[in-house]
Structure 1
Amino acid sequence: MSEPEPVILLLDALPFRRSAYANLLNIWAVLNGFVVRAGSEPEINAPTPALTLVVLGSQPIGSSEGRARIETAMRSTKSPVAVMVDTQSADCVNVALDLGLQGVLNVSETSEVLSAAVGFIIAGGRYVPHVRSAQIAPSEMSYLPYPMTASSLPDHLPATDNADGFELTRRQCEVLYSLANGHSNKEIARELNLSEATVKSHVRQVMRKLNVDNRTQAALLARDLLTTQNTKILHTQTVVNGKRSSALTPLPQC
């Protein structure tokens, strides 16, 4: 199997929907150095994509048709495979995890969140919605491919061109890191030596500044805001302080 190419393969049996999704995804792909290829089935002897995205629509993940399409996609590549669905239940998410999928994307999310999820999966993460069975331990549902640490965070996170002018304080950056690692408010309070009420306040402020609706969306955006987009910020601060720290490592890029 060849090394992954900077290609996102979108598989959908419906031509019009396939074209619509491909065009929407292409906006993010072009900005991030990827090419979107769309088809109904995986191509034989085609370059290995960085991500295969199977559009199921209203077709349940656990249905015989859904499983067949997923298994066909997974046999054709060793790279991550995710599905895009109209709706999902906790049981469907459990099936997706059992099948080894790296993501379940719901079209009810905004295009910004779905694009962030795609980049997150390509970088090695696993994205699943909050609708999941209670027997799955949070520790098994890490948002990131490996834990992140906040020991070398900047004193604040300045506004960026595509962040609507928000600015995070150092404490809010630490809270966002903890959210990215899938920690609960109680765990964050213990780690940062804060009260749970204070943590809740910080979480609300972070979500408001990031313009997101839930912790999952905030965790997804944490990857871009605290690693890829802001590596230069952290590197600059390190040089000024005359120190070198490897506590914050950018996620691997394909």
Structure 2
Amino acid sequence: MIGEAQDKICRRGEIFTSSTLSDSFTPSVVIIEARALIRECLALCLPKKLDLPVLTYADVNSWSQDPAGASACVIILSGLDRQVDGEQSELVRELSRWEKEVPVIVFSDNESRSQIANSLRSGAKGYIPSDTPLEVVAKAIKLVLVGGIFVPANVLLETQLSEEAGARADAKLDFTARENDVVKALLKGKSNKVIAFELNMSESSVKVHIRNVMRKLQVRNRTEAVIKIAEIVRGQSGAQEDDDFPCCA
């Protein structure tokens, strides 16, 4: 399926190089989404917010066969989370490769940081979760159109909180540098095996550091350790929602 899509994208790339075609169309927002209801709702609502026409297609094939699609000033790929892992990133990568002057935005039900990071690494200029308010969606598209990159604010906040939490807990509890690294990983919900790999140490060393952290915190297990560290950080930085800090069993 990806190979076929690549062929379609390649042919569409040839259309974009034709000045006679591109000059005959008003710049438009292209949305590629298999679900008819989502397509129709976006096509109805977005033009009023963007002052741009919106063209919608069920798939890359439909878009590649429509000459009007050459007017795209931004491409929104929707519903990629329903594809097989790897295919979504490959499709974003191919679109970004062939449509170098046309930014790609991913619109998805998946809000995981790993999925967002994969999309951006593949060349997407924005990632919009499907529960984003329409006003924010419009502003995100406008940001991308002027050369910016849109990432959900809650993802940036969670990343910042996770990174800052370990440092604050370290200052409060006098963790060693290595214990602090382990604390940061615990706050992100990582397993001993992943922590060992990322910090280039053995799993037994990770367990020793976790035991030392639990001893300093005076708790019985890692879950209690994460909860207590989160409470300490909240006490220093102000109230935060409980789910800002992922716990691990």
Relative to the length of structure 1, the TM-score reads 0.45
User: Whose radius of gyration is greater, 1 or 2?
Assistant: 2
Q: TM-score, structure 2 length as denominator? A: 0.46
